[in-house]
Structure 1
């Protein structure tokens, strides 16, 4: 960004309170240049347009880019890519650590070429929030938080030492320590600027706060009017190093909200309905912009809840423009009046202040949703978009029990519906007991059955910092305790708020003690159960699940419930609001209709129903006014650097180049730059590929690259045992993403993944061809590597949906997979595959694994070359085991010209590195 660059004569001064605040690039100048009615563009498009206008003539942005977006066609957007320059980047530690590993490896590669390693330096501010490493090892005790924090530091010290090295090695890289909060809430409450101020050539340039983040739920920031979304760590690295975030010009779906929520309906219920509606609308790769009187009336916290789940409904963003509610939030979270005045003045000057009414803005399509139509809901048991009206949960669960697994059910015979399993021994540790010590030898746990709730977690970024639902959970807990209800000891309850401020207002309102009495003690500030960090179940409970072959359940206030994500032994996982998590913990089962059946018996022996406990809107608002104070936010965030003595005690390793430890099981030099040369290779045909996997629909990044725990008998477990690591110290896949040796072994290793090439065996298995021998995916790939056999993977609809998990692409590439063919791809994973030099392709409409008659014995070739064009048709040549041949036409999902270049270079990182040197 240079102060003199202004081909559209757009620079204007902004006055705030009678003083010059700085210079901004006025979008009105584009109207004056005859480029159309900019005020009719969606606000999200206008914010991206401002970035193009301000950066025109540099960083790969030219006047044609500005003109194309200024004349955005709602029904037929340009097929050209947008080179978007973001203001900043946010990272969480699961994706941030491997990203830092890659940056360190790039510095090594530069040093090997006798260049200055300092060439590798982020050009925009980068904030990493350590929030994904805490696990719920202890729960239901007054010391759970301190115990989990201690264990977290014992497990992750090596990773944290590496992060502290990165903090001193890179000037623009900062770290928010553990136990502060979830990245998205810290982003909203603390990191968000809404308007950036940057000194350029001696003057202040003002522009919108925009970002990308290495967590798909980065979209939570859309709730406050900031354009941002999740990308893989691979894209984020390129963005750090000066590359635009290139994406195709999107359609923008307008969602017109009307009316208001009824009594007893939460923001979570609204979000689950929106997720269901927009997933059905197929908004993958599109912007969604909320408008109308209903949107304007929503609190900022409710908007952020809806925006957070954009990945679940498939959109790039779920955007709410800046308005008075945004300013109220900034004020409530302790921002200065000077900051707030600047935000209002800037957005008013740009004509972007306020939630548009229906008809004010031109959208690709407008969907209407009456908030009064929303009813209490849950979603599950495997996907966030599978919403269920709460009263229908019992019937739905029973139907799924009987339905065959191939049809999305659990395949339980009707005569086994009521089967129970006895928990045969007292718990091995007093994990959930409140200072009660070890149980007596005769103490037994209640028996369990299908639908028994074994994990009840108030967790994840979506809900755990929304005061209305958190205080509702506290109020429901209070009424339950007063009524004499308790939670069975088989239920592992946990409370992991998104922010330390939540603890302040739960204490201020006097509600935390009631949550404690039901077992919802504080376990940590971070992403716990929702990312798979639910911690262990009691071994006796796990044994009962296995012996009874039970479909046990979890209930969580999260956004993800994919197979085996919450816990490997729990098959049915339901998303819901925090107060409903408390209610189902009390009920102890999801096999219940809470509209008609009681939660349990009260102290007077009478039935207690959910309606008896549910707090009114007035009660919730009264507690919000009583509990929330701006000074809470100011105090908590002013002491970030002193908040965690354990973090401050970790020594800092100095130096521009990292000193790798060959014995480390957490941090290793990755092989991505082995044999690196300054010249790219050529695009060549892919021939004689063997299939590694034939997969079905909705294969998630959790299936491809699990984040949770793993066992000693897995390839990753065997590797660690050979390195002398005991199983209790394995930690999780997510925490070990800085070690490619483990992550490659974990790729396609989810215990619930179903590969048709594994003879019905669940988990990370395949057939080594042509022998037809069933073995682990990793072991097969090692053999294929010896034979120099390239690999191909086939999938169905929504391949790669889920978290922005760069290792799902990195592991795929390192296993030797050269192409992935699916019916459709989720946005981030498609991009990440290209970023790792793997070619994504789509079947033509109506075609797939079944129509082509594939069984895994075939070999495949793709006729591609240097003349590759974005989105072209490609011929797949299929040779069957008997020598017969056929072909299929596929669509290349390398969508833009820059993606062709990334592929030619073998991935985005080699491309960037070659440009830098």
Structure 2
């Protein structure tokens, strides 16, 4: 409870037989504040302490100027933390390590404990090893446990060792779908200091698509695992009061248009408008006609348009969704009463004040896909063929390259669809598009159509409820008939766990350098993400994923080209098998009820027999296994003292990588499969791990030795220190000729000689998922500063959280315009100002030519902008990172 209560906002609210302490928003003038800022305002009223959160902070929100550039820092305390297993395992590893570090500094290890509810859903580990068969699900789960048993044991230890930490076991669902269908409260009810409080649900998550919960009126966004750990330990999230973009929705979507088409259109619009670091909020009378599942789909894509959050308010649609997903009536009553009492209920007659305005008439949306490498690159479906043909030359020298596949009766060609996958929480949480896909399958099977034999087809729903409503609608058999058998409940293809293609197909692709494609109902299609064999990736709605599996190629016009011959001998076109909106709605009405959700989520934390029979370590402090290649104690706190050393200027630094625009965290963070000849592969081989058991980088995130070796190792990374080379390579300037080397090997040589490192980058550096290892790996490679044209929000903040300095080139300048080629030796001065409690706006950079530079290269000097944006971030940087700051605070 607020210790100060300057505005007299504390009051009681009776709902049913219970009384709740609330902090009234009408104690201040908040009527026309955007919904999302009202949530922040309540948060400050409730947590005001006179020191970190003061009346001035509250007044800054009340008097928010929509047009002003954000410059007021506030401390937001999220109600809970949600994690997936790839990012969650290192969080638990770090918490376990912090327990030991606290003990070494003379504190009580049990002080390290989540102070906010923390929930982890194991959804990222299942890989599609087996597809297109009736036993695919069972066999994939078997593989999953075999590969990940050690990690799962560790998470089970965490569930018993830490209070307020729950784990949803494998084979249950995808974190964001489980969040909206079960974990999200919309309004929290929790005992605080001996009394029952009600307050808005809010969360931070270790996955950027945490924003899916925005569709349920819950303010939440993705943060790095580093920030999530701090939030779990009671540290507020430091943030600037953002600009809020009002997005007005009008009209109704036309026949044949899906929620996926709407979200791809919104993604394109908002990315073009520019919303990085801003909140987006949907408003207007049209909002009431947007189904909750569509709201969640739009919220899910927030990272793809670059915003921090993409909010919908609470209204009758929200309550209906809570009912159908089996929430208790007491909870639904609390949500309704609290939202109406606090002015958080959607009232179309009140137009909030916004910083910027956009509008979309839903009737103008047309069927669309996006690709071949970015979610914002929307393509109108009717132009998909010509769009593919226009971009193909950048992937292949010839339009057609028919290639016989060994032992098969078909040939592969450029544009052939190698993977068609219904996957990802983005769309599998939306019954309208999932049932539309099932109906397309039913009609295709009735016409006698089949998926092309070179397509790896898969269905990976985000929760077991999807399987239940497919069964009730009688659609499972039709999906199975086209090869869309259930392969698992997890992110699967969307995060690169598409599994191997058949050896013959993979060989044909690689021997002939074919530009084959993947089509998935996901939210990410970055280069190299989906499969190492696939160059071009397209996002599409679930029914279109099936259509592309039938077509078998991206070089296809659905308006003109036939999908095949029907049983009656006539050609079948997409329009012949596309269901009407009425058919889809009728199927939804007949197939979905709240009992399904109640049944499937009744024992959600219990798990199956495999989970229950895992041997689980005991004790408050984890016993590390020195032989483990999955879970190892990281070095972050080695030699740490109770007070931090002074920060130092950087001298004698060399460039580890010079990178271009739109380098994503997928390029930086280890992800996907581990190659045998890579530094990580060599490490595993040296530790007695056979290639078949390498597993993925994501599954080995609890082992820093593997992860450092995989940082900047993406097969599509283009380091401009080298000409025409892709992958995790650089020039090693510790050698006389600056020879080509693995990035990890070069880093080891630099660190052995105490040479600091810098990264040079372009625009939107670090866009994409909130991958904490993109920052952790950067730091452990010995990088002290990253200098770019611009950063995306999460990665910039994570770099500071790991003690790495984010800098920007002067406005309008780039590495190239300044004449930097990466061969220079760097000196960065002015950082030491931070020791005086001052965050400098700029630091001075001097890049001197080295023995590896071209003769006559001049000295280059410029002032780089310091992107430490808040006093809290300055504290983290001074301490060497956020975890060190938290540890010292707890011990002090």
C-alpha separation in 2, matches of 1:139 and 1:356: 47
Please report the TM-score for the alignment, with normalisation by the length of structure 2: 0.97
1:250-300: CA deviations, max 9, x gaps?
000000011010000000000001111101111010000001122221000
Distance 1:806 1:355, change over 3 A: farther
Distance in structure 2 (CA, Å) of the matches to 1:169 and 1:489: 49
Distance change in 2, residues 1:753/1:736 (3 Å)? same
Equivalent position of 1:398 in the other structure:
389
Structure-to-structure mapping, 1:231-250, within 5 angstroms: 231-250=223-242
Match of 2:12 in 1: 13
Unaligned runs of 5+ in 1: 32-37, 403-408, 426-443
For the Cα contact (< 8 Å) 1:291–1:355, is it kept in 2?
Answer: no
1:566 and 2:530 are equivalent in the alignment: yes
Report the counterpart of residue 437 of structure 1 in structure 2. Answer: none
> How far does residue 640 in structure 1 lie from its aligned partner after superposition?
2.0
Name 1:440's counterpart in structure 2: none
Question: Which residue of 1 is the match for residue 28 of structure 2?
Answer: 30
Look up the match of 1:74: 66
Give, in whole Å, the separation in 2 of the partners of 1:559 and 1:464: 11
Structure 1 residue 77: deviation in Å? 5.0
Q: Per-residue CA shift, 1:488-526, capped at 9, x if unaligned?
A: 221110000011000000010001110000000000111
Aligned to 1:747: 711
Q: Report 1:779-858 matches (<5 A).
A: 779-858=745-824
In structure 1, C-alpha distance between the alignment counterparts of 2:124 and 2:526, rounded to whole Å: 17
Matched, 1:894 2:868: yes
Quote the offset at 1:7 in angstroms: 2.4
Aligned to 2:354: 363
Corresponding residue to 2:88 among 89, 93, 96: 96
Contact 1:310–1:318 (CA<8 Å) still a contact in 2? Answer: yes
Alpha-carbon separation, structure 1, partners of 2:565 and 2:815? 53
The DSSP-based 3-state class of the residue aligned with 1:850 is helix
Q: Does 1:875 align with 2:844?
A: yes
Gap change, CA 1:135 and 1:727, over 3 Å in 2: same
Cα-to-partner distance string for 1:330-359 (whole Å, 9 max, x where unaligned): 0000112221111000010001101545x6
* Match status 1:591 vs 2:555: yes
Verify: 1:884 aligned to 2:853, yes or no: no
Alpha-carbon distance change, 871 to 595 in structure 1, aligned in 2, over 3 angstroms: farther
Q: Take 2:860 and 2:143, find their aligned partners in 1: how far apart are those partners?
A: 56
Shift of 1:771: 2.6
Counterpart in the other structure of 2:601: 637
Q: Is the 8 A contact 2:761 2:789 kept in 1?
A: yes
Deviation at 1:643, TM superposition (A): 4.3
* Contact 1:59 1:244 survives alignment (8 Å): no
* TM-fit CA distance, 1:850: 1.3
Match among 366, 390, 411 for residue 447 of structure 1 = 411
Residue 341 to residue 367, structure 1, CA distance change in 2 (3 Å):
same
1:197-236 deviation per Cα after TM superposition (whole angstroms, max 9, x unaligned)? 1223432111011110000000000000000000000001
Across the aligned residues of Structure 1 and Structure 2, the Cα RMSD in angstroms comes to: 1.3
The yes-or-no answer on 1:218 pairing with 2:210 is yes
Provide the residue aligned with 1:374 in structure 2: 365
Q: Judge conservation of contact 1:72–1:78 (CA < 8 Å) in 2.
A: no
* Aligned counterparts of 2:67 and 2:716: Cα–Cα separation in 1: 40
What residue in structure 1 maps to residue 420 of structure 2?
A: 456
Determine if contact 1:821/1:842 at 8 Å carries over to the other structure: yes
Alignment counterpart, residue 259 of structure 1, candidates 244, 251, 257: 251
Does structure 2 retain, via aligned residues, the 8 Å contact 1:57–1:63? no
2:827 to 861, 866, 875: 861
Gapped regions of structure 2 (runs ≥ 5): none
1:366-393 deviation digits (Å, cap 9, x = unpaired): 1011101101000010110111001111
Match of 1:46 among 12, 21, 38: 38
Equivalent of 1:342 in 334, 346, 349 = 334
| 2:406 corresponding residue in structure 1 | 424
Q: Where does 1:574-723 land on structure 2 (aligned, <5 Å)?
A: 574-723=538-687
Residue deviations 1:675-695 (CA, integer Å, cap 9, x gap): 111111212211121011111
* C-alpha displacement of 1:58: 6.7
**Contact 1:445/1:489 (8 A) holds in 2:** no
1:761 aligns with 2:725: yes
How many positions carry a matched residue from both structures? 881
State how far apart, in whole Å, the 2-side matches of 1:809 and 1:147 are: 35
Alpha-carbon distance, 1:787 to partner: 1.4
Alpha-carbon distance change, 871 to 45 in structure 1, aligned in 2, over 3 angstroms: farther
Cα deviation, residue 125, structure 1: 0.6
Secondary structure in structure 2 of the residue aligned to 1:139: coil
Of 531, 536, 542 in structure 1, the residue corresponding to residue 495 of structure 2 is: 531
TM-score, normalized by length of structure 1? 0.95
Structure 2 CA distance for partners of 1:175 and 1:642, relative to 1, 3 Å? closer
For 2:375 and 2:860, locate their aligned partners in 1 and report how far apart those are by CA, in whole Å.
39
The one-character-per-residue Cα deviations of 1:98-152 (angstroms, maximum 9, x if unpaired) are 0100111111111222321111111111001111010000111111001000110
Q: Given that residues 871 and 895 in structure 1 are in contact (C-alpha distance below 8 angstroms), is that contact kept between their aligned partners in structure 2?
A: no
Distance 1:59 1:382, change over 3 A: farther
1:273 aligns with 265
C-alpha contact (below 8 Å) 1:505/1:627 kept by paired residues: yes
Aligned positions of 1:109-120 closer than 5 A: 109-120=101-112
Is the contact made by 2:219 and 2:311 (CA closer than 8 Å) also made in structure 1?
yes
Give the secondary-structure state (helix, strand or coil) at the position aligned to 1:845: coil
Query: In the alignment, is the contact (CA less than 8 A) between 2:831 and 2:840 conserved in 1?
Result: no
Q: What is the aligned partner in structure 2 of residue 303 from structure 1? A: 295
| Aligned-residue offset at 1:659 | 0.4
- For the residues of structure 1 that align with 2:69 and 2:200, how far apart are their CA atoms? 23
Question: Match of 1:179?
Answer: 171
Answer with 514-523 or 107-116: which moved more. Answer: 107-116
Aligned to 1:431: none
Distance, in Å, in 2 between the alignment partners of 1:334 and 1:680 is 50
3-state SS in 1 of match to 2:220: strand
What is the DSSP-based 3-state SS (H/G/I as helix, E as strand, rest coil) of the residue aligned with 2:426?
A: coil
* Inter-partner Cα distance in structure 2 for 1:879 and 1:201: 59
Asked whether the equivalents of residues 321 and 355 of structure 1 are also in contact (C-alpha less than 8 Å), the reply is: no
Please state whether the residue corresponding to 1:40 is helix, strand or coil. coil
Q: What CA distance in whole angstroms lies between the structure 1 residues aligned with 2:249 and 2:723?
A: 49
Counterparts of 2:331 and 2:738 in 1: how far apart (Å)? 66
Q: Secondary structure at the match of 2:544?
A: helix
> Where do 1:121-160 residues align within 5 Å?
121-160=113-152
CA distance in 2, matches of 1:735, 1:356: 46
- Give the C-alpha shift of residue 621 in structure 1: 0.2
